[in-house]
Amino acid sequence: MSHGATAVSEQVGSDAAPAAQAQPAVLELSGVSRLHAGRPVWAPVDLRVAAGALCIVTGDNGSGKTTLLRLAAGLLRPSTGSRSCTGRALYVRAGAGLRGVQTVAAAVAGTAGLVGRRPAAAAALTRLGLDGFAPRRVGTLSAGERVRVTLAAVLAAEPSLLCLDEPTGVLDERGVEDLLAVLRQLRAAGCAVLLATHQPAAVLAGADAHLHLSGGRVGRHDPVSA
């Protein structure tokens, strides 16, 4: 393999390793890699993510974080290996995902409605304290507010896997706390989360695993020490 890359085998669960194995796997990547301009972005990855687990993905710009998340979400086909995912996987980039011309209430309801959960939209807004935003247009919200509203739509949709790409870049301290609170709710409902970020310190405390991408290598770090 070029880049001198090495494979990594990762088992991500919401508890200690033995318990993680007992959890049903939401996502399984087996020997997965993705070619870009004829070269692998990173070495083949074996990754098993259990229901309710939080896996942080870090790495320099261009290291392949977005590629890994989009592949995990099923938006990209792996060049080698196989991917299996139980339930629905959603990918959200930079906290955006709703149409700007719609009101928050309509956009969240419309997104939840795509998976047959339109009635859950109002409750999701209430759970996140976003009732006051309901009549506002998504396009008029600040970047941080838009992240929270998009997360409300995700919360209502109840995916089995959520791939969040750089959601913390536009968030202030309170926004990150809100994000973590939403992630706790999602994980409690059995949703596994892959979160790519350049600011791991803010989110690592509650993580089950930390993957670091660098120079074509996928390495594992201790979640609490990075």
The residue from 116, 132, 173, 225 that contacts another protein (CB under 8 A) is 116
d(CA 57, CA 46): 14
Closer to another protein by CB, 70 or 217: give it: 70
The C-alpha atoms of residue 104 and residue 71 are separated, in whole angstroms, by: 29
Cα–Cα dist 54/44, whole Å: 21
Asked if 91 touches another protein (CB under 8 A), the answer is yes
Determine if 179 is a binding residue for another protein (CB under 8 A): no
**Binding mask 118-137 vs another protein (x if CB under 8 A, - otherwise)?**
x------------------x
Question: Of 93 and 221, which CB lies nearer to another protein in the complex structure?
Answer: 93
Nearer CB in complex with another protein: 98/130 = 98
Both structure tokens of 144? 């941080």
> Which one, 20 or 149, has the nearer CB to another protein?
149
Sole window of 20-28, 47-55, 150-158, 178-186 interacting with another protein (rule: CB under 8 A): 150-158
Contact 121, 153 (CB under 8 A): yes
Q: Which residue spans within 52-160 are E strands per DSSP? A: 54-59, 80-85, 89-93
Among the listed residues 30, 86, 103, 185, the single contact to another protein using CB under 8 A: 103
Q: Is 92 in the site for another protein (CB under 8 A)?
A: yes
Q: State the Cα–Cα distance between residues 224 and 18, nearest whole angstrom.
A: 19
Residues 105, 71: contact at Cβ < 8 Å?
A: no
Residue 118 or 220 with smaller CB distance to another protein: 118
Q: CA torsion sign, 195 to 24 to 122 to 180?
A: negative
Please identify, among the stretches 42-50, 67-75, 126-134, 205-213, the one whose residues bind another protein according to the rule CB under 8 A: 67-75
The least distance separating another protein from the CB of residue 17, rounded to whole angstroms, comes to: 29
In angstroms, rounded to a whole number, what is the distance separating the alpha carbons of residues 101 and 86?
33
Q: Give φ, ψ of 100 to 5 degrees.
A: -65, -25
Is 97 a binding residue for another protein by CB under 8 A? The answer is yes
Q: Which stretch binds another protein (CB under 8 A): 43-51, 90-98, 126-134, 190-198?
A: 90-98
Residue 81 touches another protein, criterion: CB under 8 A: no
H helix count then E strand count, the chain = 6, 12
Which 3 state secondary structure label does DSSP give 126? Answer: helix
- Interface with another protein by CB under 8 A: which residues? 70, 73-77, 88-94, 96-103, 106, 110-111, 113-116, 118, 137, 150, 153, 157, 159
